[in-house]
Amino acid sequence: MTDTTRSELRYEGKAKRVYATPNPAEYLVEYKDDATAFNAQKRGSWAGKGATNNAITAALYPKLEAAGIPTHFIEKLSSTEQRVKAVTIVPVEVIVRNVAAGSFAKKLGLEEGKTLARPVVEYCYKSDALGDPLVNTDTAVALGWASEGDLARIRELALQVRDFLTPFFEQRGIRLIDFKLEFGKLPSGQIVLADEISPDTCRFWDAETNEKMDKDRFRRDLGGVEEAYGEMLRRVEQA
Query: Which stretches of the chain bind ligand UDP, using CB under 6 A?
Result: 93, 95, 101-104, 132, 178-180, 201-203, 215
Q: Considering the complex, state which of residue 21 and residue 60 has its C-beta at the smaller distance from ligand UDP.
A: 60
CA distance 1 to 223: 44
Q: How far is the CB of 3 from ligand UDP (least distance, A)?
A: 32
209: left (phi > 0), else alpha (psi -120 to 50), else beta? alpha
Q: Considering the complex, state which of residue 31 and residue 104 has its C-beta at the smaller distance from ligand UDP.
A: 104
CA distance 158 to 71: 12
Buried b (16+ CB within 10 A) or exposed e, 25-36: ebbbbbbbbbbb
Q: How far is the CB of 189 from ligand UDP (least distance, A)?
A: 26
Q: How far is the CB of 36 from ligand UDP (least distance, A)?
A: 9
Q: How far is the CB of 135 from ligand UDP (least distance, A)?
A: 13
CA distance 48 to 31: 10
Q: Considering the complex, state which of residue 126 and residue 153 has its C-beta at the smaller distance from ligand UDP.
A: 126
Residue nearest to ligand UDP (CB): 102
